[in-house]
Amino acid sequence: MSALPPLSPVESNDPVEVPRRVALVRPDARPSIRRSSDKFVMAYPHLIIREVILFQVVVIFLTIMALIFNAPLEGIANPVETPNPAKAPWYFLGMQELLHYFPPFVAGVLIPGLVVVALAVIPYARINLTAGPLWKGSDEKKTTLAVAGVASVLVLFFGGFQCWAAAVPTAAVAGAMFMARGGSNGGRWKQAMARLTLPQWIMTWFVVLATVLTIIGTYFRGPGWSFVWPWTRMVHS
């Protein structure tokens, strides 16, 4: 390889004139080929018919909902009269419930911001790509200490703000993490739990917390954001 042949691009519309490219591949760097034993089917009709059916099912479901339930419409907006309680749409009620315990900056900006950032970086965090089941192949003592430590700090933190709606589910998820220990010879649920990795446990904790807070905010909060039972709330309104 002393002198490269002169580079001479050819401008032509004639494909025959365009020189063919030849690639040289070193024997130790052969391109890998993705092999799959999967069976392939034609997108039309197999996939497309399913999409059409999905469309129909969802539209029928929504139509029935729209025929049975009316969208809420209250009195005209009145800036001087705050309804009691004033509730956000359901997907923000978990956040509104947090606002009851934490300063607005924490509950309204910091926590949602952190959640979005945490979600966005999931695929770039090594642990999410490589983690194995929590109790498998790791030092059990170390894991026990870490889980118990983090869980008690979180429970104490939420408890310190008297936020039982977050403290209790946190403790419950930590309990479930310990239950999963050695669960590979238990029942179906226990086996499924034993397979969960640490990132999956964290996501589970987030989902449980968000669900509990949303349900409390939706059904268990009445005038002045006081705790009420859902049935008394119905009577109230």
Partner 1 sequence: MNTPSLDSLGLWLRGTSVYRSIVRHGSTETNRNRSLIVFENLFLHVHPVKVREKTLRFKHTYWLGGITIVCLVVLVATGVPLMFYYHPSVPQAYQDMKELKYVVDNGIFLRNLHRWGAHLMVFGAFLHMLRVFYHGAYQPPRQFNWVVGVFLLVLTLFLSYTGYLLPWDQLAFWGVSVGTNMAREAPVIGDKLRFFLLGGNAVSENALLRFYVLHCVVLPVVLFMFLGVHIWRIRKDGGVKGPSEDAPDVFHEDEP
Partner 2 sequence: MSNIPPEELLLEDDDPSRRQFMNRLGLGACAVAAAGAGVVTLDFLKPKVLFEPPTKFKAGNPADYTEGTVRFNKEQRAFVIGTAGGVFALSAVCTHLGCITRYVSDEGVIACPCHGSKFDLEGNVTHGPAPHPLQWLEVAVDDKGELVVDTAVGIPHGKVFRV
Q: Which of 92, 100, 206, 215 binds partner 2 (CB under 8 A)?
A: 100
d(CA 208, CA 6): 67
Look at the alpha carbons of 55, 56, 61, 64 in this order and tell me if their dihedral is positive or negative.
positive
Radius of gyration of the chain (CA): 29
Binding of partner 2 by 45 (CB under 8 A): no
Task: Tally Cβ neighbours within 10 Å of residue 135.
Answer: 21
Give me the phi and psi of 181, to 5 degrees please: -65, 125
d(CA 221, CA 122): 33
Task: Tally Cβ neighbours within 10 Å of residue 171.
Answer: 17
Q: Which of 45, 47, 63, 104 binds partner 2 (CB under 8 A)?
A: 104
Give me the phi and psi of 22, to 5 degrees please: -120, 130
User: Could you say which of partner 1, partner 2, none residue 227 binds, taking C-beta under 5 to 8 angstroms by partner kind?
Assistant: none
Look at the alpha carbons of 216, 219, 222, 228 in this order and tell me if their dihedral is positive or negative.
negative
x-or-dash pattern for partner 1, window 139-178, by CB under 8 A? ----------------------------------------
User: Could you say which of partner 1, partner 2, none residue 100 binds, taking C-beta under 5 to 8 angstroms by partner kind?
Assistant: partner 2
- Quick one: 138 exposed, middle or buried, by C-beta within 10 A (0-12, 13-18, 19+)? middle
User: Could you say which of partner 2, partner 1, none residue 45 binds, taking C-beta under 5 to 8 angstroms by partner kind?
Assistant: partner 1
Q: Which of 50, 145, 182, 189 binds partner 1 (CB under 8 A)?
A: 50
Q: Which of left, alpha, beta for 76 (phi over 0: left; psi -120 to 50: alpha)? A: beta
| Binding positions for partner 2, 108-167, rule CB under 8 A | 108
Structure-derived torsion over alpha carbons of residues 23, 28, 29, 33, reported in degrees to the nearest 10: 100
CB of 107 to partner 2, least distance (A): 8
How many residues bind partner 1, per CB under 8 A?
A: 69
| Binding positions for partner 2, 1-30, rule CB under 8 A | 6-12, 17
User: Could you say which of partner 1, partner 2, none residue 80 binds, taking C-beta under 5 to 8 angstroms by partner kind?
Assistant: partner 2
Q: Name the site residues for partner 1 (rule: CB under 8 A).
A: 30-36, 38-48, 50-51, 54-55, 58-59, 61-63, 65-67, 69-79, 81-83, 86-92, 95-96, 99, 104-105, 108-109, 116, 119-120, 122-124, 128-129, 200, 203, 207
